[in-house]
Structure 1
């Protein structure tokens, strides 16, 4: 019960007063709006972008691996499916042969049957007829065995084909999942790069630049190819000719020199297990791998590399010291 003369205080009044006080204490922008959360500094944005690039390297690598797994599974299925078709034609041919033999045997009937043979007065003809009967029986038995073997082989190939198809479907699901992750990561990278004013679209038709270094042999072919790609955009999963990712570029460059590298960074590092070289003994054309195997570049010489860096950038030549990634080793294809 309130005392006489005292103002009545409703339950929500203190809350409203508190909110009003808080509003008065907030900094106000010239336009009258309360101050929003400050944008990150350029240094903070670059730090975040560096972290995103490292994460994107790994996600893109998983995407590429899933893609390669799916391609191999699909190729295996297609091969088995072709084998299956060939086997089907073989079985159909054997079946037709058996039907033909059965019809012929029926048509010959009494002429080559036991009654016909016994009715002949010439013993030589009787023996010759019996030999023909034995021969036909042997051929028929042989055809039946071949038919059975072909049928069993057909069933086995069909089972393999089904398994290969299931593996391909599983790889496709994995590929879709990794692609979705990569797409989300790319959006974040592009947003940050635009905020920094550092987003580069690149030119898919860039003529590149001319390599004038001292490298010779395969290494020269590799670097001539890589330098011709300078200015083209980075795109994850890119294998040229208008856009590249890091391992796509290294694969394409060494292909120009007649050397077949696997598609992904992980596979290239594994492929080069017996071709590892010290980072202190690099030569032009060597592949340099980052820690975690999320990125690979090509050593140019004189402390420089050529590579496809990351989303929002282009194929370019930079100093190894500006690489921005911790190194794990090098491979000389």
Structure 2
């Protein structure tokens, strides 16, 4: 059999001569577009993982605060109970030191002032009863408080386990992100950002709270995207939205999922956006701030910085928006 005037067998032999035995053909270097596409896909996955990590971390911090508060209260009440116990023990010792016969009829009759002794015993008995009642109350409260502390401790352990499990998943994604960062650096497309960036001035159409939000957000432009970042030297997407709205006096939850749930009664149509509105991508893996005139400001992904882009060039499917 011949192909192009050269016997096939001869052509194969010629190829074997040119290609050393056992040599592998190297994969071609990925193009910049391919590298970015791979990074985008990886970041879509990472956004969700990191958001779960942030959510678990918030639950952990809340559980830890609750535990600490309950445990401190438990210790204070316990000290009070111990003090009452010491008072009751002191009363018992005082009664013993008066003599075992002090409460017997011979002791009372033989006393130089039996009426005074009876009055003293009545007062002592009343004090003992009052203190015993107080002790019972505090013991009961202490047992209840200990139960609450144990619940908080259990919640703390659960939150700790959840955080650890998400941390492990996040670590795996972070390894892949590191590989992509190296690739982008090699291709000259990695932007480390400037943690000390003073940003740019907002001159858009926002007013009121929206203006305060966007003045802050624009002042962060140029700072690096950092997973879990809440500023001031870098942000992730929800960290930026939270910090920006805090500048307007509005407290948002930490994560995109929490912010979306928080805004359940504040949703607005994507065709009716106003400056300051929060825009969420499909899957709730990302959130940005509408700046007006078709622009958004956001912290996009690893290897990039807080920036202003056109919403039309955003490149993600949108699920909706809220107006804090």
Q: Corresponding residue for 2:55?
A: 65
**What displacement does 1:126 show?**
6.7
Change (3 A) 1:118 1:160: farther
More displaced, 311-320 or 96-105?
Answer: 96-105
Determine helix, strand or coil for the equivalent of 2:98.
helix
2:184 aligned partner: 193
Query: Does the aligned pair in 1 maintain the 2:230–2:239 contact within 8 Å?
Result: yes
Report the Cα distance in structure 1 between the residues aligned to 2:44 and 2:299, rounded to whole angstroms: 14
CA distance in 2, matches of 1:235, 1:186: 12
**SS of 2:265 mapped into structure 1:** helix
Q: Residue 65 of structure 2 aligns with which residue?
A: 75
The alpha-carbon distance between structure 1 residues 94 and 251, as it changes in their structure 2 partners (threshold 3 A), is same
CA–CA separation in structure 2 for the residues paired with 1:289 and 1:27: 54
Deviations 1:105-134 (A, max 9, x none): 223346852333333587854763453254
**What TM-score comes out, normalization by structure 2 length?**
0.86
CA distance in 2, matches of 1:55, 1:122: 89
1:98 aligns with 2:98: no
Per the alignment, residue 152 of structure 1 pairs with 143
Q: Distance in 2 between matches of 1:134 and 1:78?
A: 39
Structure 1 residue aligned with 2:17, among 24, 30, 41? 24
Which deviates more, 60-69 or 206-215?
60-69
**Cα distance, 1:197–1:203 mapped onto 2, change above 3 Å:** same
Distance change in 2, residues 1:175/1:94 (3 Å): farther
SS of residue paired to 1:232: coil
CA 1:326–1:188 in structure 2 vs 1: closer, same or farther (change >3 Å)? farther
Between stretches 88-97 and 315-324, larger displacement belongs to 88-97
The answer to whether the aligner puts 1:305 opposite 2:296 as a matched pair is yes
Return the match for 2:234 from 204, 229, 243.
243
> Is 1:260 paired with 2:258?
no
Distance 1:306 1:154, change over 3 A: closer
Using a 3 Å threshold, how does the CA distance of structure 1 residues 143 and 101 change in structure 2: closer, same or farther? farther
- Alpha-carbon offset, residue 174 of structure 1: 2.2
Please tell me whether the aligned partners of residues 73 and 167 of structure 1 are also in contact (alpha carbons under 8 angstroms). Answer: no
Q: Is residue 70–residue 145 contact of structure 2 (8 Å, CA) maintained in 1?
A: no
Mapping 1:159-198, distance limit 5 Å: 159-198=150-189
TM-score, length basis structure 1? 0.84
Please list every run of 5 or more consecutive structure 1 residues that lacks an aligned counterpart in the other structure: 1-18
> Unaligned 5+ residue runs, structure 2?
1-11
User: Does residue 289 in structure 1 map to residue 280 in structure 2?
Assistant: yes
Corresponding residue SS for 2:279? strand
Per the alignment, do residues 312 and 159 of structure 1 end up closer, same or farther by CA in structure 2, a change over 3 Å counting?
Answer: same
Match of 1:279 in 2: 270
